[in-house]
Amino acid sequence: MESDSTLEEAQEFIDNESITMNDVLDKNKRELVLIAQRLNIPMIASTTKDQLVPLINNKLFVTPLPEVPKTESQLQLELAKVEAEAKARVEIEVRKAEVEAQAQSQAQVQIRQVELDHEFRMCDSARPSNNYNTFDAGRNIRLVHTFNESDVNKYFQLFEKVANGFN
């Protein structure tokens, strides 16, 4: 720990109103570290003199601007801005929720459609096929009367009657 006399010297240096930036530059690193500690300047052990000088000069010679009290209109403007931002965030959240709900609903509809398609295919494959090509003329030829060249119209009428019976 540094001796009290060096800490006192650092405090005296800070309190001296006639110091200049060159006076800070003339100090060695050990003295600058003590001054920085008294001014509550955050630093690490590897901080160099070149890094300390501007930090100390800023703390000693740069006067902070006084805070200007805000007028009522500025406060109202700031309040309106905060309210608008909050409203915008709420609207965004609502819109996100709507989009998510719509996507979820659409996904459920698609799942249901796939299920119905699957059920339809299962029912369709379990049922015997009802093709119109199942009429076998070779097997059913005995139902048709013998062909007579002199009465072709009667033959076709009988053939149509038998064919309609199978539809």
pLDDT in tens, 25-55: 888 888 888 888 888 888 888 888 888 888 8
Share of the chain above pLDDT 90, in %: 23
Residue 11's pLDDT band, with cuts at 50, 70 and 90, is confident
Which residue ranges make up each domain of the chain?
A: 4-61, 72-128, 137-167
Angle in degrees, CA 57, 59, 60, rounded to 5: 65
Q: What is the pLDDT of residues 73-94, one digit of tens each?
A: 888 899 999 999 999 999 999 9
In terms of Cβ atoms closer than 10 Å to its own Cβ (0-12, 13-18, 19+), residue 101 is exposed
Q: Which two tokens stand for residue 127?
A: 């049922």
Average pLDDT over residues 127-137: 59
Strands (DSSP E) contained in the chain are none
pLDDT at site 3: 61
pLDDT at site 79: 92
What is the DSSP code (8-state) at residue 130?
A: -
Cβ-Cβ contacts under 8 Å for 29 (sequence gap 6 or more): 48, 49, 52
What is the DSSP code (8-state) at residue 44?
A: -
Residue 135's pLDDT band, with cuts at 50, 70 and 90, is low
Q: Which two tokens stand for residue 157?
A: 């009428």
